[in-house]
């Protein structure tokens, strides 16, 4: 498991005024290597890259501005897309009363062990303990029942951006598994199953785009097994990412069709066009700050974070490289002009003019923070009317005539975005192993592979695989059955049960 809980007492890092203790304080360089000690590397890189600060309550983390800027860029995209779909934002309370929370039995069984309870205010005991939302199905649906009367009230499509709390005790990891996290949760109700089914996939496609187009991370779209689906729902679709270093899958985001289970419990009925009483079909869907942790894990390297240009709050950092006898003012002016030109073209660029750090220190600092492109301007560049551009992803250097600045920087940023995706996909694909027998499965699991296997789709068989693979590393389970199914010739048998296989399914350990 990556990122064991550690209190970093000395890992603020990166700001000015700490020159004396550079190595220790500013995170110039990491103590751990990604390939050698992934967990420690991850904890260190999120702190030294100034994304996270560890907090004095275990499992809670401070999201620093470097993180929030990424979250806001994804939020701006997703919020605009769902508004186009006529989904509206709302805000329901943080608190749930126990009676309502417990209304849907399967659902509460799934969440009960993780629910945090408020029992006191000031010095007074509350009459009834109040739960903090782990998710908002039971918070919202009593009101859906009230608001929905006739077919004209449908569809009802709401979303909220909020915090939720799941008081888990195992292995907290920044972004990936935390006791409080930020997310959006969409909750929709339709007259027909067809409309609900359609929306499930439309939302899933937006989640794919967040991962693939924004975070440059390849994901598999698919359906969760009965064992792994959302507690109380009908079926769950997800985008699944994979972390090659740990050989673990990670559920990237989920889009659930809840069917009519919640509608039954919360009596969400309506009069249909024929004047008959009918029950709504519901969906819920969410993505969280976990997305950012997956990004760090997939792209980061031994120099620090590597941010895809589309989500980087600073896409280009401009560093002046003055020499003793050079025209320092001319260099500084060229840096300012470069930033201005890039900003005017809509590129997020900044200059680092701090005079108490050397250019070399600044290179390392901004590499740690993962800025996609560095531009250096020294006396020779000034003389030649050019700048030097250095890519974060592959360290490639290139001289750019200032006359072509915007055009070439744009190309470079696009190229970095694409290269990051391609490299991540190549690494992910190299981990995929197709297995057909139990022995092959065990061997592949030992090699930390993303396993694609023919499966009979029986819940008991998945339980059996889980119990047989239990161990220090955690059990194997299904990740998803990909929508994009390879051919399954008749007579193919399940790798685990030997019964006829019904589908190809991804298996592995997961976060």
Residues within the interface to a copy of itself (CB under 8 A): 12, 15-18, 25, 53, 55-57, 60-65, 67-69, 72, 88-97, 100, 112-123, 129-130, 132, 142-143, 146-153, 158, 162-163, 165, 167, 179-180, 182, 270-271, 354, 356
Distances (CA, A) of 229 to 39, 70, 110, 177, 223: 28, 29, 10, 18, 8
- Three-state DSSP class for 455? strand
The secondary structure element, H or E, covering residue 295 is: helix 290-299
Q: How many residues does the chain have?
A: 511
C-alpha to C-alpha distance for 159 and 152, rounded to whole angstroms = 20
C-alpha to C-alpha distance for 117 and 115, rounded to whole angstroms = 6
Q: Which is nearer to a copy of itself, 103 or 402 (CB)?
A: 103
The secondary structure element, H or E, covering residue 159 is: strand 156-165
Residues 255/283, Cβ–Cβ less than 8 Å: yes
Q: How far is the CB of 270 from a copy of itself (least distance, A)?
A: 7
Q: Residues 313, 323, 401, 299: what is their CA dihedral angle, to the nearest 10 degrees? A: -30
Q: How far is the CB of 115 from a copy of itself (least distance, A)?
A: 6
Q: Which is nearer to a copy of itself, 355 or 484 (CB)?
A: 355
Q: C-alpha 423: how far from its chain's center?
A: 18
Q: How far is the CB of 19 from a copy of itself (least distance, A)?
A: 9
Q: Which is nearer to a copy of itself, 56 or 487 (CB)?
A: 56
Q: Which is nearer to a copy of itself, 89 or 485 (CB)?
A: 89
Q: Which is nearer to a copy of itself, 153 or 327 (CB)?
A: 153
Q: Which is nearer to a copy of itself, 149 or 380 (CB)?
A: 149
Q: Which is nearer to a copy of itself, 239 or 371 (CB)?
A: 371
Q: What tokens were used for 317?
A: 């950092």
Q: Which is nearer to a copy of itself, 18 or 427 (CB)?
A: 18
Q: How far is the CB of 88 from a copy of itself (least distance, A)?
A: 4
Q: How far is the CB of 406 from a copy of itself (least distance, A)?
A: 23
**Phi, psi for residue 432 in degrees, rounded to 5:** -75, 130
Q: What tokens were used for 321?
A: 């490289």
Q: How far is the CB of 92 from a copy of itself (least distance, A)?
A: 5
Q: What tokens were used for 448?
A: 């930390």
Within 10 angstroms of residue 210's Cβ, the number of other Cβ atoms is 22
Transcribe 239-290 into DSSP letters. Answer: EEEEETTTTEEEEEEEEEEEETHHHHHTT-EEE-TTS-EEE-EEEEEEEETH
Q: How far is the CB of 56 from a copy of itself (least distance, A)?
A: 6
**Phi, psi for residue 471 in degrees, rounded to 5:** 170, -170
Instruction: Give me the residue label for tokens 């709504």.
Output: 280
Q: How far is the CB of 152 from a copy of itself (least distance, A)?
A: 3
Q: Which is nearer to a copy of itself, 118 or 403 (CB)?
A: 118
The secondary structure element, H or E, covering residue 243 is: strand 235-243
Q: How far is the CB of 391 from a copy of itself (least distance, A)?
A: 26
Q: Which is nearer to a copy of itself, 55 or 438 (CB)?
A: 55
Q: How far is the CB of 212 from a copy of itself (least distance, A)?
A: 25
Q: Which is nearer to a copy of itself, 104 or 381 (CB)?
A: 104
Q: How far is the CB of 473 from a copy of itself (least distance, A)?
A: 25
Residues 166/253, Cβ–Cβ less than 8 Å: no
Burial of residue 459, with CB atoms counted within 10 A of its CB: 0-12 exposed, 13-18 middle, 19 or more buried: exposed
Handedness of CA 167, 170, 172, 175 (dihedral sign): negative
Q: What tokens were used for 418?
A: 């694409």
Transcribe 199-242 into DSSP letters. Answer: HHHHHHHHHHHIIIIIS----EEEE--TTTS-TT-SEEEEEEEE
């Amino acid at each position: 498991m990556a990122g064991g809980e550690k209190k970093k007492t000395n890992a603020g890092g990166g700001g000015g005024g700490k020159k004396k203790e550079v190595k220790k304080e500013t995170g110039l360089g990491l103590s751990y290597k990604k390939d050698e000690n992934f967990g420690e590397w991850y904890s260190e890189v999120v702190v030294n890259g100034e994304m996270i600060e560890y907090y004095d309550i275990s499992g809670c983390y401070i999201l620093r501005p470097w993180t929030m800027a990424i979250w806001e860029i994804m939020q701006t995209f997703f919020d605009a897309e769902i508004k186009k779909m006529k989904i509206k934002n709302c805000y329901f309370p943080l608190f749930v009363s126990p009676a309502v929370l417990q209304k849907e039995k399967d659902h509460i069984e799934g969440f009960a062990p993780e629910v945090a309870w408020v029992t006191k205010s000031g010095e007074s005991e509350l009459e009834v303990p109040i739960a903090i939302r782990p998710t908002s199905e039971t918070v919202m649906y009593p009101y859906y029942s009230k608001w929905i009367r006739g077919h004209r009230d449908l569809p009802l499509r709401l979303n909220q951006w909020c915090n939720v709390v799941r008081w888990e005790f195992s292995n907290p990891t920044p972004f990936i598994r935390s006791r409080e996290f930020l997310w959006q949760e969409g909750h929709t109700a339709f007259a027909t199953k067809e409309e609900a089914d359609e929306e499930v996939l439309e939302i899933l496609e937006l989640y794919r785009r967040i991962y693939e187009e924004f975070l440059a991370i390849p994901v598999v779209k698919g359906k969760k097994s009965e064992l792994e689906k959302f507690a109380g729902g009908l079926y769950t679709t997800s985008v699944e990412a994979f972390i090659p270093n740990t050989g673990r899958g990670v559920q990237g985001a989920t889009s659930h069709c809840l069917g009519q289970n919640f509608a039954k419990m919360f009596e969400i009925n309506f009069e249909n066009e024929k004047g008959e009483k009918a029950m709504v079909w519901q969906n819920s869907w969410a993505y969280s700050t976990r997305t950012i942790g997956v990004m760090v894990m997939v792209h980061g390297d031994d120099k620090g974070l590597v941010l895809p240009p589309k989500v980087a709050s600073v896409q280009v950092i401009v560093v002046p490289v003055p020499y003793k006898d050079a025209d320092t003012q001319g260099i500084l002016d060229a840096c300012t002009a470069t930033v201005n030109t890039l900003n005017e073209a809509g590129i997020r660029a900044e200059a680092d003019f701090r005079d108490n750090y050397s250019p070399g220190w600044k290179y390392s600092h901004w590499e740690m923070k993962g800025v996609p492109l560095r531009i250096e301007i020294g006396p020779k560049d000034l003389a030649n009317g050019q700048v030097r551009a250095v890519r974060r992803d592959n360290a490639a250097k290139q001289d750019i005539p200032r006359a072509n600045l915007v055009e070439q920087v744009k190309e470079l940023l696009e190229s970095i975005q694409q290269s990051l995706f391609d490299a991540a996909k190549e690494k992910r694909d190299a981990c995929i192993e197709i297995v057909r027998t139990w022995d092959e499965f065990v061997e592949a699991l030992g090699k930390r592979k993303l396993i694609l296997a023919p499966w009979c789709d029986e819940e008991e068989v998945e339980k059996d695989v889980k119990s047989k693979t239990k161990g220090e590393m955690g059990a194997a389970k299904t990740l998803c059955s990909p929508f994009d199914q390879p051919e399954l010739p008749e007579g193919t048998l399940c790798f685990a049960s030997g019964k006829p296989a019904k589908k190809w399914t991804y298996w592995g350990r997961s976060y």
